[in-house]
């Protein structure tokens, strides 16, 4: 096994520990939100086992991919046409700062993720240790924009101090589940996430940003020796 393979094995174990731990917070009869990503994958897998054993839940997926995984796991699905508030949502993050602010959207599902992470009574973040940062911004900030006039929107984004890069996939433009583009904004650190989010939302063509501010109720961190459960009342290391 190479060093890289060992590193990937450790990362996967940490994600698995965090993802499975989150499933313990789901109770019979709940309607839940399921995020997108490699850590939430393990939550979905665990929930599938629990549903097969009799757990009664319904879920709203945050992406086409999560919907596919949930159906494969046998998890019953619902929509916001049937519920207007979730009991609990579980999602991952690309970065988490010391104030529990997040950068999300590496997988391109940030708009639907923000719906399930906002319209919920309890929002749980599941991450491995590598996602904890002192300041947001090392990970490029995803911003979803409408295709029409995206070039002008990128110019406006650049005026806020970033280098905007249109996301590509397979030699073509990445298209979100909502039919929009994603612009990855490279900042030299984000000192005021809430202020930046407000500025970005005012730009014509911007649908949503990957900044998730003041939403986290609980964070589960997967570590080599187990998991740590942290609340917003305790600072991150």
Catalytic residue among 14, 20, 113, 208: 113
Which of the 8 DSSP states describes residue 120? B
Asked if 113 is an active-site residue, the reply is yes
The per-residue b/e assignment along 39-67, b for 16 or more CB within 10 angstroms, e otherwise, is bbbbbbbbbbebbeeebebbbbbbbebbb
Q: What burial class does residue 84 get, using C-beta atoms within 10 Å of its C-beta: 0-12 exposed, 13-18 middle, 19+ buried?
A: exposed
Q: Where are the beta strands (DSSP E) in 62-188?
A: 88-91, 95-96, 102-103, 123-128, 141-145, 163-166, 168-169, 172-173, 181-186
Catalytic residues: 113
């Amino acid at each position: 096994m190479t060093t890289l393979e060992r590193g990937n094995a450790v990362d996967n174990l940490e994600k698995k520990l965090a993802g499975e731990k989150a499933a313990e917070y789901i109770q019979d009869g709940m309607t839940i939100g399921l995020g997108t990503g490699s850590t939430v994958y393990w939550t979905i897998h665990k929930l599938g086992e629990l549903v097969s054993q009799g757990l009664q839940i319904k879920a709203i997926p945050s992406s086409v991919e999560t919907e596919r995984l949930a159906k494969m796991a046998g998890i019953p699905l619902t929509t916001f046409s049937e519920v207007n508030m979730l009991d609990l949502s579980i999602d991952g993050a690309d970065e988490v700062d010391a104030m529990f602010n997040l950068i999300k959207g590496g997988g391109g599902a940030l708009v639907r993720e923000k719906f399930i992470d906002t319209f919920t009574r309890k929002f749980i973040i599941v991450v491995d240790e590598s996602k904890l940062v002192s300041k947001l911004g090392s990970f490029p900030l995803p911003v979803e924009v409408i295709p029409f006039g995206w070039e002008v929107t990128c110019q406006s984004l650049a005026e806020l101090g970033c280098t905007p890069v249109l996301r590509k996939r397979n030699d073509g433009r990445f298209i979100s589940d909502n039919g929009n583009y994603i612009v990855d904004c490279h900042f030299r650190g984000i000192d005021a996430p809430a202020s930046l989010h407000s500025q970005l939302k005012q730009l014509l063509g911007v649908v949503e940003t990957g900044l998730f501010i003041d939403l986290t109720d609980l964070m589960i961190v997967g570590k080599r020796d187990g998991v740590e459960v942290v609340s917003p009342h305790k600072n991150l290391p």
